[in-house]
Chain A
């Protein structure tokens, strides 16, 4: 026997090619994953986020105030989307995540500026994700200086000569130290739940079909809903064990401050866990074998990871990417859990992030029940 026989080797290579061609999904993965990654990393993801939503709470209508707001807009760092009329309204916008910044322009801002009183210009930033807010906040003082330099000409030009004519203050809310792990660790809870729960349950029904036990199940009086829920419930418990682990690590290893109620976090997470498990079960009604189940799970997991705002700032992505991202449960769960843990949100504050997950869940269960084959046809 020779150590290496070219004919034997060629036979092996040939067989692999035939099998690769038959296994459409593996082939689709080979082509699809690079394509998806190219598109997502190339077009959707932006580690230098621009056009971040901002609100302006202005009590002054001087040309200086207008110039600063215009300067923010043209800098492309900020998109002025809201004009709250009270402090309370501005705070609510920040808490709900509708805006990442609120600029407060005090009364008589223009007059005080001309008098040389150095009025205070306050930029409040939602710093839960320091990556998203950091660069815009850093650029802000320069934007103000340039805006004022344009206005302070002629007799007022001397105001430019000395120290800056306004007192720019930046207030980083929720995560004043700008610790990235405060943002990442609670987010990880969502990412880990998505990855493990979808994959585990996607294997669940597929395994029954692959091993032939589905035929036994289908010949009994059992109902599809009983099978699907029966598959889900044990893993809800598994999901909670994972959550407890991550929460403990967040608290004791990473010292993530927990502003809101841990009990609320756990209670509302049930919706997220349920949604992910249903995705898994629904995948398993489509997949023909366990390998396919894992592959389809990866197709779901990748956009979840990249487009949810976990790895890259959500508000910094183009509109189409945000649209895809806002379908995914992880996107809303991140807002929900960061809201509770870092901002101290309560139940009512969490509702806007809860119902999109519920809608997603209902749609997935409906699809799964429709796909579930009552017969072997």
Chain B
């Protein structure tokens, strides 16, 4: 299999009714990597994932997934891919065990019963084995889905917002499972909106309006954005910062003002104009400190730039 590369695609493009949803996507993912896929709603994440697993046929582009051609050999790719859909897509009127058995049989796996036993054990689904999937809580549904899409020991996992609407504890468990799978050599492509999850990925790609805006490790992306961020807090606890937000936003050099609890984060692409802009506000009442720019600020900045670019 093509050295250490699992996915290597170029120029993938897909349009629906004349509207381009994914526009010339290039992506390389290495074996054993957890690759985060980020971007605002409607940015083309789900469409990209569906093209990779053969559910959608790209209008243009080429590439290789697991050593097979993504356009012509999607049938050969399917048996090696575990795809977890954004919406729960197992049968709500089958029990946990029945769902897993059905999936194992469709993949034509040998000894489905033993495999399902192993999966139930590994995912801690034992207490719910005979419960209808439709009656499980969100977190357990996600676990069942992850179990079902890993039954056939895939080489590549495509997880589409697997933890949307799941509580933090269940999310953490879920990610522990994904890391354990990655340690065994499985490659995972995960789309998410959570910044803490993005930071748990080996590498990231950021998509907006169908285009890839940035990719690399968290550090590379943050560095590449070149943002400077100041944190400002009021020294008298009673004083609000709302008025300050409104006054800072229109200033040249200030690109973002975001409230974080009792502090504001003020970011700008150029350090000098930003410093000039905030200079009049550096009074005794306010405490200003330079902080590390977070991923969220970088992504919001990327999205704004691409939107301005579209105009």
Contact = CB atoms under 8 A, between A and B. Distances in A.
Contact of A376 (B50, B90, B108): B50
Contacts of B20: none
A375 B108 contact: no
Contacts of A212: 85, 87-89
A221 B107 contact: yes
Contacts of B5: none
A162 interface: no
B85 A220 contact: no
Given A375-B54, A376-B56, A377-B57, A219 B81 contact: yes
**What 3 A-B pairs come out closest when comparing CB atoms?**
A216-B89, A219-B83, A212-B87
Contacts of A8: none
Contacts of A377: 56-57
Contacts, number: 50
Contact of B55 (A213, A219, A222): A219
Interface of B: 50, 53-57, 75, 78-79, 81, 83, 85, 87-92, 103, 106-108, 148
B287 to A, nearest CB: 50
Contacts of B108: 221
A221 B91 contact: no
Interface in A167-213: 211-213
Given A220-B78, A221-B78, A377-B57, A215 B106 contact: no
A218 B106 CA distance: 11
A219 B50 CA distance: 9
Given A218-B55, A219-B85, 6 more contacts: A216-B103, A217-B106, A219-B53, A219-B78, A219-B83, A220-B106
Contacts of A375: 54-57
A213 B91 contact: yes
21 contacts: A211-B91, A212-B87, A213-B89, A213-B90, A213-B91, A214-B89, A215-B55, A215-B85, A215-B89, A216-B85, A217-B106, A219-B53, A220-B106, A220-B107, A221-B75, A221-B106, A375-B54, A375-B55, A375-B56, A376-B50, A377-B57
A216 B90 contact: yes
Contacts of B90: 213, 216
A222 B56 contact: no
Q: In the complex, which of the residues A213, A214, A217 has the most CB atoms of chain B within 10 Å of its own CB atom? A: A213
Contacts of B54: 219, 375
Contacts of B83: 216, 219
Contacts of A220: 78, 103, 106-107
Given A220-B78, A220-B103, A220-B107, A376 B89 contact: no
Contacts of A211: 89, 91-92
